[in-house]
Structure 1
Amino acid sequence: MNGSLTDVPGLEVGHVTRRGDGWLTGVTAVLVPPGTVGGVDVRGGGPGTHETDALDPRTLVPTVDAVVLAGGSAYGLVTAHGVQRWLAERGRGFPVGPGPGEVVPIVPAAAVFDLGRGGVFGHHPTEQMGYDAAASAHPGPVERGVVGAGTGAVVGGRFKGGVGSASARSGEVVVAALAVVNAVGLPVAGPAAGPVEPGPLNTTLVVVATNALLDPAETSRTATVAHDGLARALNPVHTLADGDTVFALATGTVPLAAERAARVHELVDLQRVTADVVRDAVLDGIASAETVGPFARYPG
């Protein structure tokens, strides 16, 4: 266990980071093994999302092929098209025809607001950056800090944010999370705690994953419980100026109990661990960015 999202077997993470020459933004792509069930819970008042409706348990396709996190606010959502193109070139996606390449990759995405924070306002992530993030994805430990979608992240209007990750094991079940921390709020404890400075839009994004075999409803409920981890790490959360969104992924290699009472017990324990891991990933994202130092609003 490396304390990374990739501790869930089969997951791969790739970052594209653009810094300098007017750039301060990036993309993070999470690739998943075939058959991975997806869920989502959007709690923030200012979300920037793509294809989250496809993760409703009542819809046709229960699985996803990747999840994309990006800077650039709504402009950055175009990066999902790049990841989709990379997957389609490899025949990965939901089959819609008899041919081997007749697929539609399911690639939900969400973005954080980082426009004008040290970079030129118009320099936001592109489709090609999404493609390159997918191409760079690997199963090794997740790179943390001021990278990928966390490159332009800010916490509480005063400190650098970034990418964090954490994992835990409960028996054979592994639960792991990756967080892009770009929050209005500050950590609930520690030297940075206190009133937040008013500012523009923010957002904390999370991908939480497990190797447990969950159905779409159970996966979506896991995304809901994961928001408890945000509330344990940051204050405030889910504000009108945040787009806080959690994606949940279940790769399905470890079955849970078939008997209902036993299954509920196992789900409760899994979701307890989920909230803890999300809290740890958020705090890791802040700690990993500390070396950059305090953020000066819109530096020249």
Structure 2
Amino acid sequence: MGDDGLDRYGGELTAVRVSDHDRVTDVAGVTVGQHHRIDDDATVADAEIAGSGWATGSTVICFPDGATGAVDVRGGGPGTRETDLLDPANSVLGPTAIVLTGGSAYGLAVADGVMTELERDHRGLAMDAHGHVVPIVPAAVVFDLTVGGWSSRPDADFGVKAVRAAGVEVATGSVGAGAGARAGALKGGIGTAGVTFDDGPAAGITVAALMVANPVGSVIDPGTGLPWDVADHGYHRLTTPAAAEIDAYAALQAKGTVLNTTIGVVATDATAGPGMMRRVAIAAQDGIARAIRPAHLPLDGDTVFAVATNRVPRPTYHPVPPGLDPELAVITAVSAAVASVVQRAIVGAVLAATPVAGIPTFAQTLPSARRRA
């Protein structure tokens, strides 16, 4: 498969490569804006002492030219807004923007600011001939209320600032909605990844993910000190850390928190309706299960939005038998790729995380695990 390291794809797909910048904005029609507040003196709450300072933020994924979409929720403790709207049985075809944010259920207020800012730009579902619009802004939250002060959480102003910051650059690690994220005992964060198909029914199509890694479970195998299945998925190529570091990490992981969530957005520039995008959202959850163990627990809120920007026309040279969805061939290829993209984004979030509020990072805990050439 070339020099990109995506060995796993050779067995699953043909002629797929890392997208131009390996990020969700490689999908035409997607922009990302982030805003966070992190205090140098922020602390983490424990059973005896309350946390203090700020360590939280928001990430907004925007679709300036519209999109179709769906959502899949697998965790037992989700915090969401407007997910029913994305049921393929309902009338709205897709979102204007999607909010991923810290603050637990309080953070849903960020969507109010996003709606206000989008309305100022006249972006949303057109309602009449007078220019009135209703922006469609689904949202999902992560629990980070014990990182920093309990009342230090994102509000509508975070949403306004995130929309104003939207563009094609995507910062990763301890930023945006990942500012206060934890991945088990380690610092979590934002990660992104993408691939582009070179041939087959999805030729020319890009599929990518942006994930907030904040799971109850671990992204790192306590037995090896490396991401789960690292030899299998082939992209994050790391040297095996020292035995003493592995032992220290295993002891640390045993003290992890139990109030967490992994959320994200997968996007493609393929042409697809909400029904097929629901299949993509379901497939994306497999990426969470590959990257995190255990996943989809009662206190997780694992939620993945799947969006199509409809920039690449449906191919005519891969006909689908009558009676089946005409998007089936393309979405089958996209679904086969999306789990690996989500997995890479989650692992990348943990590897890119920087210290916040004293939460140890992968780089601090397992410093001898270095990227191999």
* TM norm structure 1: 0.92
Per the alignment, residue 217 of structure 2 pairs with 185
The structure that is strand-richer by fraction is 1
1:133 and 2:162 matched: yes
Q: Secondary structure at the match of 1:260?
A: coil
Aligned to 1:78: 109
Q: In the alignment, is the contact (CA less than 8 A) between 1:185 and 1:196 conserved in 2?
A: no
Identify the residue that residue 180 of structure 2 maps to in structure 1: 152
Aligned residue runs from structure 1 range 242-257, under 5 A:
242-257=300-315
Shift of 1:198: 5.2
How far residue 107 of structure 1 moved from its aligned partner, in angstroms, is 0.2
Following TM superposition, by how much is the alpha carbon of 1:256 offset from its aligned partner in structure 2, in angstroms? 2.7
Which residue, 9, 27, 32 being the options, matches 1:8? 27
The CA deviation string for residues 227-256 of structure 1, in whole angstroms up to 9 with x for no partner, is 011111110110011100000110001123
Q: Residues 42-67 of structure 1, C-alpha deviation per residue, up to 9 Å, x if partnerless?
A: 11010000101110111111021000
CA distance in 1 between counterparts of 2:98 and 2:87 reads 15
Q: How many residue pairs get matched?
A: 292
Q: Give the superposition deviation at 1:200.
A: 3.7
Three-state SS of the structure 1 residue aligned to 2:213 is: strand
Which letter maps to 2:30?
L
Q: Give the equivalent residue in structure 2 for 1:55.
A: 86
Alignment of 1:263-282 (within 5 A): 263-282=327-346
> 2:263 matched to 1:214?
no
Q: Whole-Å Cα distance in 2 between the matches of residues 219 and 87 of structure 1?
A: 24
In structure 1, give the amino acid aligned to 2:29. G
Deviates more, 1:2-11 or 1:190-199: 190-199
SS at match of 1:235: coil
Report the more deviating stretch, 200-209 or 71-80.
200-209
Tell me the distance in 2 between the aligned counterparts of 1:294 and 1:225.
35
Larger Rg belongs to = 2
Deviations 1:148-196 (A, max 9, x none): 000000111x110000000000120100100100001112545167665
Is residue 210–residue 265 contact of structure 2 (8 Å, CA) maintained in 1? yes
Q: 1:176 aligns with which of 202, 208, 211?
A: 208
* Structure 2 residue ranges without an equivalent (≥5): 1-19, 42-52, 198-202, 228-249, 361-373
SS at match of 1:271: helix
Structure-2 separation of matches of 1:186 and 1:160: 11
Aligned-partner SS, 1:187: coil
Q: What is the TM-score of this pair, normalised by structure 2?
A: 0.75
